[in-house]
Structure formats: structure tokens, C-alpha cells
Structure 1
Amino acid sequence: MTTAQVVGAATPAWRGGFGRLWSAAVLSRFGDALRTAALPLLAVRLTDDPLAVAAVTACGYVPWLLFGLLGGAVADRVDQRRAMWAVDVARGLLVAAFALAVALGHASIPLLIALAFSLTALQTLFDNAATALLPSVVRPESLGSANARLMTGQQLAGGLLGGPLVPLLLTAGAFLPYAVDSLTYFLGAALVASLRTGSPAREPRPPGATLRADMGEGLRALWRDRALRATCGATLLCNIGMGALIATLVLHVTGWLHAGNAGYAAAMTAYSAGSIAGGFLAQRLAGRLGRVRALLLGGTVQTGALLLMGSVRELAALIAGMLLLGAMGMVWNVNQVTLMQQRAPAAMTGRISAAFRTASTAGAPFGALLGGAAARTLGLYTPALLTAALFAAAVLVLIPARSADVSKDEKRGGVTTGPAPA
């Protein structure tokens, strides 16, 4: 068996913009972790209906279905750096207003849903712009390592630092996690605005080119690439499962395991610790197996972790499962994003990213509601088992794409050179 050498193994330079982009992303993730961990706990205080709690998570995914393709088309047309800092300023203002509403005692499930929807609507532009901007900040051979460092730093700040801090902040005031989150948005906007790197060079658009036509081009380009098409389908199945799991995890911990807020924080911390470990493993596994085969391994291990979580009624089993889920989830995310960036033409990265994200995220709102319904009718442990079945199906969908790890030159000469170009 030959050893796969994956393009993107070089270490990215911190100068030239990557250091600031990394700092902005990590700082923003720290604030997001405070908000995302506090929102379910606030929702549980406001209602004991599993479907209502799940609806908060579901509405955080819906904007990807409505605006995801538009966000990618806009990201390929505008200065991506300016778009990112402008979105961060808008999100900071929104979360600051929500923190004030919580402090004044005006929190409600409809308000939580409105906040989740609005933040994700803005995120559709931010994420696609960030995905398209990164290849212009680092060298092509550093792209995989840059993604791994970026995602690992986000998990370190968000999980190991942000998540455990939430119970302490909540004891001082229910509004504090959201107030700190708004501050991180403003600081992140300042860091992105200070970048000297511009958007990648683009060819002049033909006369009469429309956003609708641009969105169609992104969808067609995604569909024509067999590896990306299969990876997108597999990620869709995983996101349906993760929507079900995330929307009901607080109920799994506090209702089925009776572990309380501390148990929920421990589970989230375990997930983040596993994700950090996965950040170090992602490139090594891709180097030995290839990116698609690394995805296959990640999905298989995650399936086993979910079966453990849904069948053993012990907090230790949940923590072990979350560790594995986080580690292999990071392996999946790093290699999936890098595969897409490597195979997409530079001028279309935003649109292909948007098509991929929109298609793969389409099932997450359905998954969140499905998880809430399963928890209500079949038991609070069933969303984990449902997610395991969906991850197993994702692995099967991805198997035909494993040939993307072998280039034409490799097939002729027996030397593994990494993914073939799109």
C-alpha cells in the first residue's frame, strides 16, 4: 500500500494575514461558545417542551436554506475582508441588544428563535467569504495545515475556555454570556479590518451576469465534481443527525442522565478536547490515507461513539463518546473543507462553498425537529441512536468517492500524489 502525500502539509506563516485571521476567528469562536452553551440552558428555563427547545436550534439552520447560495454569490463579487468585518459589527450589535433584553427580563422562546435566525442569516455571507479568502492568505501547500490550525484554535477557545466558563458567568448574571459574545464580535471585526490581504483576482464578469446565474454556476460545479458531490451528500446525512443530537443534548444530559448543568458543561468540554486532538490528527490521517479515506474513518468511529452514547446510561459513557465524536468530527471538517478549497477554482470558491454548505445543511433543521420528536415520543436517548444510523449511511454514501484520493499519475506510476484536480 502506498502512502498518500496530501497537498497542504506545509506550516502556514503567521505573518501575511493568517495570524490576524486566526486571532479573529478564535476570539469570535470564544464568544460564540458562550452564547451557544447558554442559549439551550436559557431555553430549558423558559419551557419544558422538547420541540420548543429543538425549534431554537432548528431556526439557527434555516437561513442557510434561504440565503446560503446568495451569500456565496455575493462573497465572490465583493471585497471579502470588508464583508467579514461589516457582518461582525452587525452581529455584535444584535447580540448586545439581546443581552440587554435578557438583563431586563424580556427573554422568550420567540426572541431566542429570532436571534438564532438573524445571526445565521448574517453568517451565510461571513462563512463563505472567509472560506474564499483563506486561500489568498496562505500558500497552496499550507492550506490543509491552515484549516487544521484555524479549527483547532477555535475549539480550544470555544470548548476548553468558553464552554466551562458559562456556568460561572450565569451565576453572575444571565445576560453576561451574550454581553461578552457581542464584545468578541467587535474585536474580531477590528482584526479582520486590519488585514492587508485583498480578495483573490477575478476575471471580468460577462455583461448581464446576475446573482441568480452565479448561484446556478456554483451548484453545477459542485454537481459535476464526483468527490465533492459524494462528500456533500454524506455531510448532509451527518448534519441531519447532528441537528437531532445538538438540539436535544441538553435534555439527554439533564433529563436522561440527570447530570445537571455541570454534566452538560462536562460533555461539551469533552467534545472540544476531542476536537483539539482531532486537529492534530487530521493532517496525519490525510497524509497516510488521503482526504476521502480520512473522512470514511472519521464517520465510522463517530458511528460507534454515538451508539455508545445512546445505549449506556452513564455520564462517563457520554463523555467518552463526545471525545471520540469531537476528534473524528474535526478530522471530517478539516479534510472536507480543504478538499473543497483544493478542487474549486479560485474565482468560484465562494459559490461552490455556498452550494456545498447550503445543500449539506439543508437537513439540519429537519434533524433538529426530528430529534425533538424522537426524544418526546421514544425517549431522551433515541436522538443519539438515530444520529448513529445516519452517520453509518453517510459512510456508505462516501465510499464511491474514495478514488479521489488517487490521481491519474498515481494510477500509472504507483506513487500517491494526492487528490486529482477537479
Structure 2
Amino acid sequence: MVAVGTAGVSAPAWRGGFGRLWSAAVISRFGDALRTTALPLLAVRLTDDPVVIASVTACGYLPWLLFGLLGGAVADRVDQRRAMWAVDTARGVLVAAFALAVGLGHASVPLLLALAFLLTALQTLFDNASTALLPSLVDTEALGGANARLMTGQQLAGGLLAGPVVPLLLGVGASVPFAADAGTYLLAAALVASLRVGPPERESRPAGSTLRAEIGEGLRHLWRDRALRPICLATLMCNIGMGILIATLVLHVTRWLHAGDTAFAAAMTVYALGSLAGGFLAQRIARRVGRVRALLLGGTVQAASLLLMGAVQNLAALFAGMLLLGSMNMVWNVNQITLRQQRSPAPMVGRISSAFRTASVSGAPAGALLGGAAAQAFGLNAPALLAAVLFALAVAALIPAGRADVPVGVPRDGAATVRAAP
């Protein structure tokens, strides 16, 4: 697939496979948003215990600790397109079975925990394969624009469109959001299966090479990279903070602010609107100040947003904080993922991505449980304040990476190769 120039910056063309990958990602994200918004609302109907509610979020992160590195090594070995559509098919069947169980009145906290765990276990392979597949569909110079378009489209569908629909679907039946999510997984699988991408070009593995050795190679590359190592540490701290917030946000809205389910859905919608703005800003900020400095700006604004949310007991303050949080979170994600792709050798993208994701996500389950404990011990606004502290620490940890920044759209020598799709 070719890249097209826009104002001197390469942007991905929609033909050649990127358009279908974008469509699959957007459709799947719409269904995911239905499920992820409905799950905590279903959980608070089953229990009043903040720690138990937070455990649902923790189980959604735990598989990254157990299978994340393995998922990256497998993604570098297999046909990434086939792995993606197979995983989406499996997830569609799994969520359909859960929807049936909920519809029959068998919803329970253990069932919610099991669903969150199994879906994320499959996601460890899907996400690493997706990260590794994208450079085969767009030119290296267009990776930043491609990531921005993917994430912006996902936020448009998942936050702005799906969020307000959840209360309506729940009004029809508790199982309806999950049934819709199952359908989007299957449709996304069909789109990915239709991609015309040649077999991955890989060097022959040395005789006797093992998954364990290949995982170690990815870990060593991540540790030695002067930019990726501090970015990974900073992202770890941010994910602890996000785990704290996400696990308790439903309590923050419905109990501390005394708002209802509609306000919770509205807060998620405002976050999505902020993410859309961030998708348009991510590349512009990176071109002006560099990708690492864009991360510094994003982390600083997010810390201030969380402080506002935790200090002011007002729905308007919550919405303002979620708007800023969403926009700067998008700026952060677009730039750290693009840096990761640009600075990784093509045969190792999956392993380096999995090492980064596993290390950075490892704090999220602890963050989710910490958020529940903080809410129980210090009040329902304490998690937002604690998350603000974590984001401030992330900004401090990121400062050394500024000395290792790379030009926007220009990969380090040997860091990436471009393979045109047939």
C-alpha cells in the first residue's frame, strides 16, 4: 500500500488493505464499548463491594502478565492476518455464550470474572499480531497517521456512538449489549480474513531456537533502547493510574456524585469526544515538539485532569476532566505506539510490542485493586486523586527519554522495513 502526502506529511491511503483493517478495528471497538460499559453496570447490580467490582477490571488485565510475552513471540512466528481473524471468531463465540447465559438469568460475578479473563487472554495474541501487521499495510513514514486514524475511528465508534446506546440496550435486556458485541467480533473477523496480505517475510530461525529465547531477545532489545525503556516505565505508571480510575469510575459517578447510569454513559461519551480531538492533535503536536515531548505534554495534562475530577464534587468538573483525559490519552497512545513500531526491527515487532505491553500493563490489575481499596478506605474520590499522583510520577520518569527522541516519520537505521501488500 502506498502513502499519500498531506501538507508534507505522509498519510496512509485507504486502498491496499488499510481501509478494511480500519473498518474491522472500528466495528470491533463499537462492540467492545457496548460490553465494557455494560459489564461494570451489570457488576454493580450483582454486588455492592467496591473490591469485588474492581476485581472485574483486574481480571481484564491479568492475562497480560501470564500470556503477554508468549502472545508476542507467537505473533512473530505465525501469519498475523490468520491469527487475528481466528482470535476474533473465538471471541465472538465466547461473548455470544455469555450473552445467552445472561439472558437465561445466570449472570454472576464469577461469570463476569471469567469472561474478562478469557477475552484478554485471547487479546494478547490479537493485539501483538495487529501491531506487527500494520507496517505491512502502510509505509513506515505513514505509521503515525495510520495509528491516529485507527485510534480516532475506534473512539468515534466505541465512545461517541456506542456509549449512549448502552442504557437503551440494557433497557431492552441485560444480554443485548453482549449479543451485539459478539456480532461485531464475527464481522470484524470476516473483514480481516479478506485482507490481501502476502506471507510475512522473516529470516530463518536458528536451529533449536525456542520461544523462550525469542522472548528474551525482545526483552533485551526493549531494555537497551534509550527511548523505549523510559517510555515503558512511564506507561506502566500511567496504566496503574488508569486501572485505579477505570475500576472505580462507576462508583465515582453513581455514588460520589450521586448520578445515575446515564451520567456514567455520558462521562464515557465525553471521554470519547476528547479522544477524537486528541486523534487530530496527536500528529500535529508530534511534528511541532517531537514524539517524546508530546508524551510529556499528554502526561502533564492528564495528571491535572485527574486532580480536577478528584477534588471537585461536581458533574461538570467530571466531564471537563474526562474531556481533557481522553484527548491527551490519545496523544500519548498514538505517539508511544508509533515510536515502538519505528524503533523495532521488522522481525521483532510482535515480541518488542508484547514486552512493552506486558511490562506497562503489569501494574493495571494492582491498580484496579488499589483503586477499590482506596475507595473503601478513604472515600470514593480518593482513586482519582491517587491516579493523578501516578501520572505525575510518569511524567518525571519520562524526562530521560527526551534525549533519545527520533524524527517524526523517520525510522532509525534498520529499525523497520516496509513490505508492500500485493
Name the TM tier (shorter chain). over 0.9
1:57 aligns with 2:57: yes
Residue of structure 2 equivalent to 1:90: 90
**1:9 CA displacement:** 3.6
Aligned partners of 2:377, 2:228: CA distance in 1, in Å? 36
* Counterpart contact for 1:239–1:361, Cα < 8 Å: yes
Task: Kindly provide the amino acid, as one letter, of the partner of residue 116 in structure 1.
Answer: A
**Residue pairs, 1:287-366, within 5 angstroms:** 287-366=287-366
**1:404 CA displacement:** 2.1
- CA deviation string 1:104-125 (max 9, x = no partner): 0000000000000000000000
Residue of structure 2 equivalent to 1:45: 45
Distance 1:9 1:368, change over 3 A: farther
SS of 2:258 mapped into structure 1: coil
* Counterpart contact for 1:9–1:143, Cα < 8 Å: no
Task: Kindly provide the amino acid, as one letter, of the partner of residue 306 in structure 1.
Answer: L
1:159 aligns with 2:159: yes
Residue of structure 1 equivalent to 2:70: 70
**1:385 CA displacement:** 0.4
Aligned partners of 2:403, 2:191: CA distance in 1, in Å? 40
SS of 1:240 mapped into structure 2: helix
Distance 1:111 1:17, change over 3 A: same
**1:18 CA displacement:** 0.1
Aligned partners of 2:46, 2:139: CA distance in 1, in Å? 49
Residue of structure 2 equivalent to 1:24: 24
Aligned partners of 2:111, 2:118: CA distance in 1, in Å? 11
Q: Cα RMSD over matched residues?
A: 1.2
**1:237 CA displacement:** 0.2
Aligned partners of 2:77, 2:406: CA distance in 1, in Å? 33
TM-score when normalising by structure 2? 0.95
* Counterpart contact for 1:63–1:121, Cα < 8 Å: yes
SS of 1:163 mapped into structure 2: coil
Residue of structure 1 equivalent to 2:262: 262
Task: Kindly provide the amino acid, as one letter, of the partner of residue 235 in structure 1.
Answer: T
Residue of structure 2 equivalent to 1:4: none
**1:61 CA displacement:** 0.3
Aligned partners of 1:271, 1:59: CA distance in 2, in Å? 23
Task: Kindly provide the amino acid, as one letter, of the partner of residue 187 in structure 2.
Answer: L
Residue of structure 2 equivalent to 1:397: 397
Aligned partners of 1:281, 1:164: CA distance in 2, in Å? 25
Residue of structure 2 equivalent to 1:412: none
Residue of structure 2 equivalent to 1:201: 201
Residue of structure 2 equivalent to 1:181: 181
Task: Kindly provide the amino acid, as one letter, of the partner of residue 109 in structure 2.
Answer: I
Residue of structure 1 equivalent to 2:241: 241
Moved more, 118-127 or 211-220: 211-220
Distance 1:37 1:279, change over 3 A: same
1:367 aligns with 2:367: yes
SS of 1:10 mapped into structure 2: strand
Aligned partners of 1:44, 1:10: CA distance in 2, in Å? 46
Task: Kindly provide the amino acid, as one letter, of the partner of residue 368 in structure 1.
Answer: A
Aligned partners of 1:54, 1:417: CA distance in 2, in Å? 39
SS of 2:323 mapped into structure 1: helix
SS of 2:16 mapped into structure 1: coil
SS of 1:11 mapped into structure 2: strand
Distance 1:201 1:182, change over 3 A: same
Moved over 4 A (4+): 416-422
* Counterpart contact for 1:31–1:185, Cα < 8 Å: yes
**1:405 CA displacement:** 2.4
Task: Kindly provide the amino acid, as one letter, of the partner of residue 404 in structure 1.
Answer: A
Task: Kindly provide the amino acid, as one letter, of the partner of residue 187 in structure 1.
Answer: L
Task: Kindly provide the amino acid, as one letter, of the partner of residue 156 in structure 1.
Answer: L
Residue of structure 1 equivalent to 2:418: none
* Counterpart contact for 2:164–2:266, Cα < 8 Å: yes
Residue of structure 2 equivalent to 1:378: 378
Q: Which runs of 5+ in 2 are unaligned?
A: 1-7, 416-422
**1:191 CA displacement:** 0.1
**1:197 CA displacement:** 1.1
1:218 aligns with 2:199: no
SS of 2:12 mapped into structure 1: coil
Task: Kindly provide the amino acid, as one letter, of the partner of residue 327 in structure 1.
Answer: S
SS of 1:16 mapped into structure 2: helix
Task: Kindly provide the amino acid, as one letter, of the partner of residue 293 in structure 2.
Answer: R
**Residue pairs, 1:105-120, within 5 angstroms:** 105-120=105-120
Aligned partners of 2:72, 2:409: CA distance in 1, in Å? 30
1:190 aligns with 2:190: yes
Task: Kindly provide the amino acid, as one letter, of the partner of residue 88 in structure 1.
Answer: D
1:33 aligns with 2:40: no
Counting matched residue pairs gives: 407
% same residue? 76
Task: Kindly provide the amino acid, as one letter, of the partner of residue 172 in structure 1.
Answer: V
* Counterpart contact for 2:83–2:125, Cα < 8 Å: yes
- CA deviation string 1:235-267 (max 9, x = no partner): 000000100000000000000001111110111
Distance 1:187 1:219, change over 3 A: same
Aligned partners of 1:121, 1:158: CA distance in 2, in Å? 21
- CA deviation string 1:256-299 (max 9, x = no partner): 00111111011100100000000000000000010000000000
- CA deviation string 1:308-328 (max 9, x = no partner): 000000000000000000000
TM-score when normalising by structure 1? 0.95
